[in-house]
Structure 1
Amino acid sequence: MSPLGRGTPREAGILAEIRSLAQPLAGPQGLDRLVERCAGARFVCVGEASHGTHEYYRWRALLSRRLIEEHGFTWIGVEGDWPDCWRLNRWVRGEADQDLDARGVLEGFERWPTWMWANEEVAEFLDWLREENVRRAGHEQVGFYGLDVYSLWDSLREIIGWLEAAAPEALPAALQAWQCFVPFHEDPHRYAWRTRIVPESCEADVVALLAEVRRRTMDRMAGDPAAFDAALNAMVAVDAERYYRTMVRGDRQSWNVRDEHMADTAGLISRHHGPGAKGLVWEHNSHVGDARATDMFDAGLVNVGQLLRERHAAPEVVLVGLASWAGTVVAAESWGAVEEVLAVPEARPGSHEDFLHRALEEDAVLVFGRDRSGPWLSGRFGHRAIGVVYHPWREAGNYVPTRMGERYDALLWFGTTAALRPLHHEAPPEEPELETEPTGF
């Protein structure tokens, strides 16, 4: 990733290619070309280069609003827990918690880092989405769902609640799975370490529970949202158990367990919304941008963007990355710590962000055409990825070798960015949090 010599013909070609693709992003109308590119897709994945940047959340929301209003997109899947987001889904549909505003509902997000979703930018979008849904018939309303895999105990509780109401004769399978996990006091760290020491796990119990719930919900999911919720919670329980058991062994394949779960969940949501349903996926660039265009591929890792491209025809999937040159970000200095506003230094020379900054004088949208053989789109340069734990003084480790034209179909570019606006401060955990790698490595 050494910088190219300034003024070399190749560098001049890179800057010229960037300028030829860029269009100003001065207002929502600047998204016109990107909206047109996304209009016919079934899955539009919109990333972010950090989980703490105002512009990423604001412009992702603006793009999503236009696709919902103008092109019939009816669901959003985010990098969040299924039970928490199901509550949001019911709220935006007018089915629950109507005495609260979006900020009140988001207060229910307790898993660190809460700022990922409990922030002003998301609250403003959800307020708009609820008002939009008021004007729509039930089958046309836009859903809001969590794609992630961390909510093992919360999902088990939701399954037990549904079985008590809908199929009490099936409760024994759920209670057997619950009893298996009881000794670990809802601490995935304890459970995972126990499976490393003793070759026994709760895998068989949660797999049996999944089979039982699927049998009970198979013919009911289409017309019964509660049954759909139960079925997805059962899938979360199985994959969460496998995720934590794999992760504690130091096996990076836990990344694949997680991203395969998120891609599977996106597919189930799409089918739940009916033939031809179109949805949006909101996740970090590390999940959205095709892993085959990065060094993740060399390590045997996959991600959501890659899996969706492999499972669907090319026109059905659009991957949109986001990037910036410098500014501020909300992040923490260690796992589970209180969030801070940290400075994001100017991009490293020779990185994608450096070339974009030198080529463009303003924020821009770049939509890639069929020919991606130019020196910038086909070149392999560092692309910055900021996680929820961030050390600005260790910038070199935040760059992922990337062929931009293979990783995304479009890019939103911002010169200088500002920190996200959390709704509240993190409360330090009583015990050390289990690090679960929500973005990058």
Structure 2
Amino acid sequence: MTGVRDLALPLRDPADLDPVLERVGDARIVAIGEASHGTSEYYAWRAALTRRLITERGFGFVAVEGDWPDCHRVNRSVKLRPGADADPRDALDAFSRWPTWMWANDDVVAFCRWLRDVNAGRPEDERVGFYGLDVYSLWDSMHELVGWLRENEPEHAETALRALRCFEPFGEDGAEYAFASRFAPTSCEQAVVDLLRHLCEERGRRADEDDPEARFSAEQNAAVVVDAERYYRAMVRGSAESWNVRDVHMADTLDRLLAHHGTGPHPPRAVVWEHNTHIGDARATDMADAGMTNVGQLLRERHGVDDVVLVGFGGYRGGVIAGSEWGGQMQRMPVPEARPGSLEALLHEEVGRDALLVWSRDGSRPAELERRLDHRAIGVVYRPEREKWGNYVPTVLGERYDAFLYLEDTSPLQPLHLERADEHVPPLAHAV
């Protein structure tokens, strides 16, 4: 039987990604991970693969682990919408939720500028979008929704204002709301559920409106508010529930985006950008033992393994941008050589160069892909000194992903700005 050394293909330039495109075939969803939120090479290779999926395979939008309101501003810019930022860099530089460097960085700017240029040569209804999947933007989404209703459906704005007033006593502080709802007999749950139901009912009566994407964005902001309220209430219980609320929300949002884009002659195809911890199937890790699901697992369950391709990343050593604590100022940190016995150490020993691994779910695979090995995962909080006992997820590589990009040496992202003193820091639940 061949070993992992025989499976490893060269990874030098975007042309070397041909085997991934062959593995994708007719699949509608390609989810591409990252082993940290602060490594330039992961972002650059992910963008290179996404460019090819858009230009060669007709993928119609990119959905990322970011907040809906922030990413909607980027979406409007890359789609050249009237009144939008002429340079996507301005939209990305406006990101204000910690950790801003996840999206406000040079690598994402380069991709979004490329996407805007591609879209400039396409009809408006064929332009590729950029959307946020995450759940943290409760107050931003509520304010966006109130503003949209005041402008478009002023007779219904009071419904949203009633929900907003429910949250006002907590000063736009998710942790304060979460702890208060734990002890109070009532919460804001019913108010936000009523708001979402109202918007869905109105959609059926206004199918002929001029800007369906603006209404879709309003509905998505309402959905964020519903699930963010659930997320914050679940967070204080200290279980896997808040993680699951968040990942189910991201999978639900992707499904809504696919349905929204499904009016053309061809089924919509989506690229998803998130951390490996969300992208890789949780059932191939110790996450499942803790009662946690994730986006990768949900995509395979909902759409089938033939329609979903999961792509992971890993690196042996280098540098990263991260915070030493939740909400802390970003720092450039060293990433030491992977610890002995880990997946990354194995690839360093057996391959020793940047490499692409692609395999079939049905065929025979090297034994190393069937073993549970520690696989490094760096979140927005990172402490290199904990490498000996933390920062790794036990993983069966061949079950967690369908393809894997391994890099010997990595370097930190280049952020657009330092963290600002007034930016919003979400309550701590899971640091990835």
Same fold (TM over 0.5): yes
Between the aligned partners of 2:84 and 2:237, the Cα distance in structure 1 is 44
How is 1:13-412 mapped onto 2 (pairs within 5 angstroms)? Answer: 17-98=3-84, 100-218=86-204, 220=206, 224-274=212-262, 276-369=267-360, 370-395=362-387, 396-412=389-405
Deviates most, 411-420 or 242-251: 242-251
Match of 1:4 in 2: none
Indicate the SS of the match to 1:376.
Answer: helix
**Alpha-carbon separation, structure 2, partners of 1:320 and 1:339:** 27
Q: Specify the code of the residue in structure 1 equivalent to 2:230.
A: R
Query: How far apart are residue 107 of structure 1 and its match?
Result: 1.5
The 1:353/1:186 distance shift into structure 2, 3 A limit, reads same
* Letter of the 1:411 counterpart: F
| Secondary structure, aligned partner of 1:397 | coil
Sort the Cα spacing of 1:195 and 1:388 in 2 relative to 1 into closer, same or farther, 3 A: same
Please tell me whether the aligned partners of residues 59 and 271 of structure 2 are also in contact (alpha carbons under 8 angstroms): yes
SS in 2 for 1:50: coil
Give CA-to-partner distance per residue, 1:354-389, whole Å, 9 cap, x none.
111111132111101222553111101100000100
Between stretches 217-226 and 417-426, larger displacement belongs to 217-226
Query: Greater CA deviation, 63-72 or 370-379?
Result: 370-379
Q: For the Cα contact (< 8 Å) 1:97–1:105, is it kept in 2?
A: no
Q: 1:221·1:228 contact (CA, 8 Å) conserved in 2? A: no
Residues 220, 227 of structure 1: 8 Å contact kept: no
Kept after mapping to 1: 8 A contact 2:35/2:376? yes
3-state secondary structure, aligned to 1:301: coil
- TM-score with structure 1 setting the length: 0.93
Report the CA distance shift for 1:376/1:355 in structure 2 as closer, same or farther (over 3 A): same
Q: In the TM superposition, what is the alpha-carbon distance from 1:157 to its structure 2 partner?
A: 1.2
Local SS of the residue matching 1:176: helix
Are the aligned partners of 1:377 and 1:404 in contact in 2 as well (CA < 8 Å)?
Answer: yes
- Contact between 2:97 and 2:423, CA under 8 Å: does it hold in 1? no
Alignment partner of 1:264: what SS?
helix
- What is the alpha-carbon root mean square deviation over aligned residues? 1.6
Assess if the C-alpha contact under 8 Å between 1:337 and 1:428 holds in 2.
no
**Following TM superposition, by how much is the alpha carbon of 1:195 offset from its aligned partner in structure 2, in angstroms?**
0.7
Identity, % of aligned positions: 53
Tell me the CA shift for residue 348 of structure 1. Answer: 0.9
Structure 1 residue matching 2:157: 3-state secondary structure = helix
- State the Cα distance separating 1:102 from its structure 2 match: 2.2
Question: Structure 1 pair 82/220, CA: closer, same or farther in 2 (3 Å)?
Answer: farther
Compared with structure 1, are the counterparts of its residues 224 and 438 closer, same or farther at alpha carbon in structure 2 (3 Å cutoff)? farther
Partner letter of residue 306 of structure 1? Answer: Q
1:377-429 Cα offsets, whole Å, 9 max, x none, are 11011000001000001012111111000000000110010111101111245
Q: Which runs of 5+ in 2 are unaligned?
A: none
Q: Where does residue 435 of structure 1 map in the other structure?
A: 428
| Structure 1 position 284, deviation (Å) | 0.1
Task: Provide, for residues 74-118 of structure 1, a one-character-per-residue CA deviation record: whole Å limited to 9, x for no partner.
Answer: 100000000000111011010145554222111110000000000
Q: How many residues align?
A: 425
**Structure 1 residue 32: deviation in Å?**
0.8
Kindly provide the CA deviation profile for residues 313-361 of structure 1, in whole angstroms up to 9, marking residues without a partner as x.
Answer: 2211000000000000000101111101101010111111011111113
**Is contact 2:77–2:85 with CA below 8 Å preserved after alignment?**
no
Could you tell me which runs of 5 or more consecutive residues in structure 1 were left unpaired when the two chains were aligned: 1-12
Measured after TM superposition, the shift of residue 431 of structure 1 is 9.3
How much has 1:61 moved relative to structure 2?
A: 0.2
Residue identity in the other structure for 2:261: H
